[in-house]
Copies of this chain bind each other. A is one copy, B any other.
């Protein structure tokens, strides 16, 4: 019952208000409105609607009916203020122009949304400083969870994550060593190093001997593939630093074409090129067409990630298929568990990879 501080002027209003549920200035339907309609206290409504157990089943039903009837919609801001936790999940990825991360994101969103979480996307542009700054901003919003790409971050970023105590899952990578602190990390990915090694072994098995590695962006995962390549070639006694072609510019079709042209000018001649990402490799394949260089006869070409178009090229591109959608989904599921306070069966999930042999090698 509203206690109108009744001057005579306000009496009518007070009576009207007393008839229906009490209306706020904002006109919003609130928890109290639902409580009044259902004949229970607001806190019971809160519990019933959130599916908290320890509420009588009959009451839950009555409350839900009232909520539906009034068209009640919870206010996330009020919820966040009271509970010190929002329904946002912050996701940090390097670049949206790399189709890889679009697929990851799609899977993450598809998993998180039905559970009632909004995704807040931060694009770091492969820049540790920008990542830290983005994280700082996102943490202000008290996200319920965090998904970040990779395991290599600035000390500031690591500290922010730790201090925030927000559950966090890492994507696309696995810790190399099994140190105690590595074991504490939650992550879903595969061994980039192993994948690089496997593709290199494939090229060796095809009889290639002068296998170049062409890398762009030079982010941590690219460098791990490089390491895998290097280890295999060294073991075969076929490694030489002159086989390493590294360019810090972002990966793109055009850059792939340029690198291909450069590498093909090298003597003694290269007989295979492992590009660290499919867009580079596709660019190389297009350049080969322009330059009338036969692939794989003159040179074998392989890419990484099996992005759109890999199978459309002439010849179709040999590459490594990475389970990015599965990684996104598994990471989101693991995060969901962590946010519920549960402990995932496995803190570190290896989803593997697959060398896909096509015509280019």
A73 and B140 within 8 A (CB): yes
B314 and A76 within 8 A (CB): no
Q: Collect the chain B residues with CB atoms within 8 Å of residue A81's CB.
A: 75, 77-78, 81
Cβ-based interface call for A289 (8 A) = yes
Binds B, one of A4-12, A115-123, A153-161: A115-123
Binds B, one of A37-45, A230-238, A249-257: A249-257
B109 and A102 within 8 A (CB): no
A97 and B99 within 8 A (CB): yes
Per-position binary interface string of chain A over residues 311-354, scored 1 when its CB falls under 8 Å from any chain B CB and 0 otherwise = 11110000000000000000000000000000000000000000
Inter-chain CA distance A314–B286, complex, in Å, is 7
Who on chain B is nearest to A257 by CB? B312
Cβ-based interface call for A283 (8 A) = yes
From A78, A102, A311, residue with most partner B Cβ within 10 Å: A102
Is chain A's binding surface mostly helix, strand, loop or mixed? helix
- Additional A-B contact list (12), CB under 8 Å, known A96-B102, A118-B120: A26-B84, A76-B142, A96-B105, A97-B103, A97-B106, A106-B123, A109-B123, A119-B121, A120-B120, A121-B121, A279-B308, A290-B314
Who on chain B is nearest to A25 by CB? B84
Interface residues of A in 58-103 (CB under 8 A from B): 73-78, 80-81, 84, 86, 96-97, 99, 102-103
Q: Collect the chain B residues with CB atoms within 8 Å of residue A97's CB.
A: 99, 102-103, 106, 308
Who on chain B is nearest to A80 by CB? B77
A residues engaging B (CB < 8 A)? 26, 73-78, 80-81, 84, 86, 96-97, 99, 102-103, 105-106, 109, 113, 118-121, 123, 137-138, 140-142, 252-254, 257, 279, 282-283, 286-287, 289-290, 308-309, 311-314
Given known pairs A99-B97, A102-B96, the reply for A140 and B76 (CB within 8 Å) is: yes
Q: Collect the chain B residues with CB atoms within 8 Å of residue A113's CB.
A: 137
